[in-house]
Structure 1
Amino acid sequence: MAGISFITHKGVKLLYEDVSQSKADDILAFIQGAKAIIASQPKNSVLALVNVKDASFDTTITSALKDFMKANAPYIKCAAVYGVDGMKEIVFRGILTVTGRKN
C-alpha cells in the first residue's frame, strides 16, 4: 500500500514517497494526499525520495503522475526515484521531458 512520510537521514529531512508494489487505485489515492502534503511545504524546500519498485503503471497513472510532478515542481528542491526499470524508465523520462523537471 502506498504511503508518504517525512524521515530524517543524517540530519536531513526527506519526504519518503513509497508506491512500491502498489496498484493503480492505491497510486491515484496516494497522489491526492501527497499533493496536499507537498503544497504545504515552503517552495523549493522538499527533498524527496520516491520508491516505485514493482508499482503498477498504466496510461491513467502516467497522466496523473505528469500532473502531480508538474504541480509539485515549485516545492521540490531535489528528488531521487528508485525502482525505475523497463517501461517505467521510458515513461519516467517522458514525464520529465513534458513537465520540464530535471529530477
Structure 2
Amino acid sequence: MRKPEFISYNGKTFFFMDFSDMRSREEVDGLIQPSAEYIRSQSEKSVLTLTNIKGMHFNNEIKNAFSDFLKGNKPFVKAGAVVGIGGLQRIVYNGVMKLSGRDLRSFETLDQAQDWLATVN
C-alpha cells in the first residue's frame, strides 16, 4: 500500500500523494486516509500538495470519495498541483473541482508542478 510522502524542492516542502494507476476504491482509500489525517492536522492554509493521478481509474464511488477528501482538505491547503490528467479524466477532474469547491492547478509533468509550487508564497 502506498503512503504519502514529503518532497523537498527549491527550499519548499510538498506533501506528495501518488494515486497513479490505482484501480480500486480500497487502494484509493488506503492513500486518502493517512493523507487526510496529516493534512487536517496542520494549520490553516499551510500545506502545499502535489498529487499524481496518471492512469488512475475513476468511477462514481472513487469520484465521490475524492470529492469528499478535497472538500475536507480545503481549509488546510495553501496551494495544490495535480499531474497526470488525461482525456476522460479531465471531465471527471473538472466535475470534482466543482463539487469540492477547490481550484487545484493541473500540469503535464511533476517538474512543471514542482516549479509552480516552489513559487507559491
Shift of 1:2: 3.4
Pairing 1:23-102 to 2, within 5 Å after superposition:
23-24=23-24, 25-102=26-103
The residue type equivalent to 1:100 in the other structure is G
Partner of 2:16: 16
Say if 1:2 and 1:22, in contact at 8 Å, map to a contact too: no
Note the aligned Cα RMSD (angstroms): 1.1
The number of residue pairs the alignment matches comes to 103
Structure 2 stretches lacking a partner, 5+ long: 105-121
Question: How far apart, CA to CA, are the structure 1 residues paired with 2:98 and 2:38?
Answer: 24
The residue type equivalent to 2:99 in the other structure is V
The residue type equivalent to 1:22 in the other structure is M
Partner of 1:3: 3
Question: How far apart, CA to CA, are the structure 2 residues paired with 1:10 and 1:93?
Answer: 29
Question: How far apart, CA to CA, are the structure 2 residues paired with 1:97 and 1:90?
Answer: 11
The residue type equivalent to 2:37 in the other structure is A
Structure 1 stretches lacking a partner, 5+ long: none
- Per the normalisation by structure 1, the TM-score is 0.93
- Runs of 4+ with >3 A deviation: none
* Further displaced range: 43-52 or 17-26: 17-26
Shift of 1:101: 1.1
Shift of 1:22: 1.5
